Amino acid sequence: MGLFRPIANWLKKMPADRHPVRRVPQGFTDREFRKFARNIRQLQRQAGLPKGDLILHGSRIKGTARTNSDIDIALRVDRRDFFNLAERALARAPLGTRLRKSMLRRFNENGQIASFDLGSDFQKLRRELLDSNSPVKVQFSVLLKGGKLDNGPSLPIQ
């Protein structure tokens, strides 16, 4: 039967906040991760994002990623910074559109601002700094501290 099946089953049954946290995301070498982490911090600076807690979370941190799983990056910010960013994002979405309604739902219900919401300049910079230096697909979000999607486990980016 092999050793890995029982471990995988054990991890599936473990509550999300009890998964062992990895030092290096699954699918990355130490060297790839160090460079990737530097690029995440550079993206934050160049994009003019507020100070906050940069973290990795999701299956690559839990160690449960599949071959096609992405890497989830989040910038955790306080309420003031979150809603300032949300207002800037909403300024690009015309009133009464489905786009604006879906953005408002994401902001208010999930406490999440996605890469898409941050605009095309941010997406271009993210592709340049992160996507091109990652062995897997990259997802970047700004999360409201204490919001619905701000849950562990996570790995801080130092």
At 96-110, the pLDDT tens digits run 999 999 999 999 999
Is the separation of the CB atoms in 143 and 150 below 8 Å? yes
- Judge whether residue 6 has pLDDT over 70: no
Q: How far apart are CA 115 and CA 136, in angstroms?
A: 16
Is the separation of the CB atoms in 145 and 77 below 8 Å? yes
Judged by average pLDDT, the poorest of 1-10, 11-20, 92-101, 120-129 is: 1-10
Q: Which of 150, 140, 156 is nearest to 70 (CA)?
A: 140
- Select the more confidently predicted residue: 152 or 40: 40
pTM attached to this predicted model: 0.82
Q: How far apart are CA 34 and CA 31, in angstroms?
A: 5
Q: How far apart are CA 17 and CA 150, in angstroms?
A: 11
Helix (H), strand (E) at residue 56:
strand 53-57
